[in-house]
Structure 1
Amino acid sequence: MRNIRQLLHELSQDSISKSSFFLVLNTIVTTGLGFLFWTLNARLFSSEQVGLASAVISAMNLIIALTGLGFGTAIIRFLPTAETRDEKNRYVNTFLSFNALIVFAASSLFLLFLSIVSPRLLFIKESIYLAAAFIFFVTAFSAFSLLDSVMMAYDCARWIVVKNSVFSAIKILLPIMLVSAGAYGIFASWGIAAIIALIASLVFLYKRFGYRARPAIHESLLRRTFSFSFGNYLSDLLSRFPGLVMPIMITNMISPESAAYFYVAWMIAGLVLMIPDAISSALFAEGSRNSEAVEQRVKHCVKLILLALTPAVIIGMIASKYLLMLFGAEYSKNASLLLSLLILYSIPSSVRSLYLSIKKIRKEVGQIIAVNAIGSILTLVLCYLTMERGLVFIGLSYLTAQIAIAAYILAFGLRIPRREGCA
């Protein structure tokens, strides 16, 4: 018992452990408050209005994802290398300003071609004011999201929880006042909450770190960091690609019902997958601030993942059937084994997550892209070849592909020098 208390005390004093905890807590809090947000909207608005609003928000998230260009990763990697406050300010202002320009342009193009891309969403540009508000909200939410990386780089992960909790809480209150606006009112609640939380976050960064937000783009900083940020952007898209296309593949090759079962199982498994992802993100942030003794930090992260992931996997597999019952008996009947396989998937996935964090610290972008590309291709090929056999074989394909990647990394890829020389 004393050893357990001592271990917990040591973990509470460790920066990686604390950052990981707050990142996991952030996901739990935002997921819970997000559920309340949509539950409230379901009572205040018609199902058609909720559906249209969710489509607009999905479009916003897609625009932000496609225009991100890896700036969040670049902020975490390069901001700690800045030696003065002014240099740090130049980094943040450059990334925020350049990202805002790209998002502004992409949002404008989206509205321009909206009648072709999604005619059902034409209501968001019924007037010039609604169209301008859409562009402004998307740009603000992109900047708001990018501040997560700024706070990670400044080693204040706990304030990510505060920032996103403020956003989520305000977002829940606003629909009550915007019922008359219909579907746009739901979207506006999201945008207004993001603006308020963005301003509060900028005030916090000014008071805590002396950061002054100004529109400025320093070309030398972009040239220095762009290959790293864009490489990580491509890698992230490759990593997410199987999850984006899998529901479509399942719908066409099995059935729409099976696609729903997969989506729910993947969503629940994501709560377990966030554990190694959070710890790996904390390792990346810590290693970017101080690239010495990476080997020691990796060993610590392995212990931390084992400590947190083992009970999560065991509990998740035991409770999989009951968790799916929350969505209906048919989900439990058809997706419980799939969910167990996807939860097991988190074990080899943790090897890949740690490996990619090491490569990010060392700026080895080619290796990052290669691992995610091979992993995604292998996953898609195995799923395609076995999909007609059912959802269980999709889960087995995911697990097999990730085990193969983890085996390669452990056998050939994981070479950690005792001293790192990342500039």
Structure 2
Amino acid sequence: MSVGEMVAGRVRSVRREMGNPLYRNAYALMLNTVVNSGFGLLYWVFAARVFSTEDVGRGNAMVNLMMLISVLTSLNFGQALIRFLPTAGRDSRSLVRLAYGVSAAMAVVGSAAVMTYCHLAYAPGDPLHVSPGFAAWFVVSTAAWSLFNLQDQVLTGLRSAMWVVLENGVYGVVKLGLLVVVAFTSVSDGVFTSWSAPVIALLVPFTLLISRRLLPRHTAETADRDDAGAPDRATLARYMGGDYLGQVFNQAMSSFLPVLVVMTISQAASAYLLPAQTVFLAMSMLSMAITSALVVEGSRNPAHAHVFARAVLRRICLLVWPASLVIALAAPLLLWFYGPQYVENSTTLLQLLMASMFPRVIVTMWMTKSRLANRTFPLAVQQLVHCAIVLGGIPLFAPMLGVDAVGWMWFAGELVLAIVFLPSVVRWLRRPVPPHPPGDGGPAGPDGPDPLDRDDDTRPIGGPEARTHEFPRVRD
């Protein structure tokens, strides 16, 4: 075989894979994670060089406060959209409106309460004191940030995740450019302004894209499904209740972890935790990006969800695991950019967190399986157990292990959960493939034809229930 034929074959293979919505959305969401992480790093590096330490500190505090309020007041509507929007049919628009309305209203109430407290409880000159004008801008920004994040989930649920990459890429460029502009002006709270203003500007075009193009097309494609329609309010409330409780435990652990390290070890140890935790969160987001695409396709075709899961697991093993191994081996080199003290004190911690990515894959697959079954309260229990292992174990082992105790406890928590969930995940993945109806596929293997193994991405993905929702060709 000539080189040209090999290249042509590889191109056909890539085009075939990207023509499948499962893989296309998964790779798009992974790329979005890389784009967000890259622009975030550039933003804070530049901010540290052109703003004073005090301005960066206040800006960082306000940005993180805004994101925390947004997470806690969104009620985890984003995960509900990923789960239920793919099959909402004619109820798609009303489901999106409900998510937007509730999340924005809760964000306004929560941020207004926090800003009132900051204005009244702190004296002028204190880093956390806010003027009425800034408080109003903060409230608007928090509501906009909640909607901005929900748009990512809407685009994912509509199988249009490539727009998520574009949206966040444009946001990263505009945010960085605005930071340069405000650095040479007298704009107060320039860091927070440059972070939040582009969000408000981008809401309009992407809202129009979703409401006028993507939602109508999605409604037309899914309206005739047998299971089309949004879930009833009770089902939606149960799903969001368990998922939100788990999110609270997860957010509490992430937010309280640096504080606990300061309390039980030292301030310096909290600094050594920062780069390792940042890299680990980015890697975790890669796995979650892939499984978000799995939830979308599994919702549209529940009979073949486990087949999609097998395909996704193979790609996680080929992408996330090798990347984690490379980062673990290169940890001293990566930490060298922070300084020799970080190389000495953070290397083992980063390596342990990367090692925990291996059992975490099992946990992530179990979480995906639970979401597809609408069983979210076990997710809250899982997050609570992990939180208890990590936060409870650090004070016990920190006197012996120092900051490495964080890595050991995180790895132990993931390993324990993976061992518990492994049998359930294996049973799910090993289910036989439902047979195609006569004439609807090629020769069946031991498990029947694989619905992902198709040359034509417009064919049904298998089973009688799949004939009403074909994989559309890419039109965006």
TM-score, structure 2 normalization: 0.80
Percent of aligned pairs with the same amino acid: 26
2:195 aligned with 1:190, yes or no?
Answer: yes
Letter in 2 for 1:30: N
- Which residue in 1 is equivalent to 2:57? 51
* 2:253 is the alignment partner of 1:242: yes
State whether residues 53 and 183 of structure 1, in contact with CA within 8 Å, keep that contact through their aligned partners in structure 2. no
Check if 1:407 corresponds to 2:416: no
Q: Residues 328-343 of structure 1 correspond to what in structure 2 (within 5 A)?
A: 328-343=339-354
1:356 positional shift: 0.4
Q: Displacement, 1:405?
A: 0.5
Residue equivalent to 1:62: 68
Distance, in Å, in 1 between the alignment partners of 2:121 and 2:363 is 36
**Cα-to-partner distance string for 1:343-389 (whole Å, 9 max, x where unaligned):** 01101111111110111011012222222222221222232321212
Give, as a single letter, the amino acid of the residue that structure 1 aligns with 2:343.
Answer: S
Deviations 1:36-89 (A, max 9, x none): 2223333433221121111111111111011121100111111122122xx211
Number of the residue aligned with 2:472: none
CA shift in 2, pair 1:18/1:93, >3 Å: same
- What residue is the counterpart of 1:398 in the other structure? 410
Deviations 1:88-123 (A, max 9, x none): 111101110111111111111111111466653455
Structure 1 contact 383–394 (Cα < 8 Å) conserved: yes
Partners of 1:145 and 1:276 lie apart in 2 by: 18
Which aligned pairs between 1:230-379 and structure 2 lie closer than 5 A?
Answer: 230-379=241-390
C-alpha deviations, 1:300-330, integer Å up to 9, x for none?
1111111112321221122111000111111
Match among 201, 207, 220 for residue 202 of structure 1: 207
| Cα deviation, residue 222, structure 1 | 4.5
* Alpha-carbon offset, residue 273 of structure 1: 2.6
Aligned-partner Cα distance in 2 for 1:210–1:366: 30
Q: Structure 1 residues 353, 222: closer, same or farther in 2, change over 3 A?
A: same
Give, as a single letter, the amino acid of the residue that structure 2 aligns with 1:105.
V
Q: CA RMSD in A?
A: 2.7
Secondary structure of 2:302's counterpart equals coil
Deviations 1:231-262 (A, max 9, x none): 10111222333322221121111111111111
Match for residue 170 of structure 2?
Answer: 166
**Structure 1 counterpart of 2:403, one-letter code:** L
Say if 2:83 is the partner of 1:83.
Answer: no
Distance 1:327 1:143 in 2: 35
Distance 2:107 2:363 in 1: 30
Measure the CA separation in 2 of the matches of 1:25 and 1:131. Answer: 34
Q: Distance in 2 between matches of 1:413 and 1:36?
A: 39
Q: Does 1:23 align with 2:45?
A: no
Q: Distance in 1 between matches of 2:394 and 2:242?
A: 26
Give distance in 1, aligned partners of 2:319 and 2:234: 39
Preserved contact between residue 275 and residue 308 of structure 1 (Cα < 8 Å): no
CA distance in 2, matches of 1:143, 1:34: 19
SS at match of 1:58: helix
SS in 2 for 1:327: coil
Partners of 1:210 and 1:74 in 2: CA distance? 16
Equivalents in 1 of 2:324, 2:59: separation in Å?
35
Per the TM alignment, residue 413 of structure 1 is displaced from its structure 2 partner at its CA by: 6.2
Q: Choose between structure 1 and 2: higher helix proportion.
A: 1
Tell me the amino acid that sits aligned with residue 124 of structure 1. V
**Matching residue's letter, 2:115:** L
What is the CA–CA distance in structure 2 between the aligned matches of 1:177 and 1:305, rounded to whole Å?
40
Unmatched tracts of structure 2, length 5 or more: 218-229, 435-462, 466-476
Partner of 2:110: 106
Question: What's 2:451 paired with?
Answer: none
Q: Which moved more, 1:58-67 or 1:224-233?
A: 224-233
State which drifts further: 400-409 or 167-176: 167-176
1:178 partner SS: helix
Q: What is aligned with 2:439? A: none
- 2:226 is aligned to none
Output one character per residue of 1:171-210: Cα deviation in whole Å (capped at 9) or x when no partner.
1122344344444222122222001111121122134225
Contact 2:243 2:377 in 1 (8 A): no
Residue 17 of structure 1: CA displacement? 2.4
Whether contact under 8 Å (2:35, 2:169) holds in the other structure is yes
Cα offset, 1:124, TM superposition: 3.3
Deviations 1:201-231 (Å, cap 9, x if unpaired)? 112213422569xxxxxx9965441221121
Deviation at 1:286, TM superposition (A): 1.7
Residue matched to 1:215: none
TM-score, with length taken from structure 1: 0.89
Q: Equivalent residue of 2:130, what SS?
A: helix
Structure 1 letter corresponding to 2:396: L
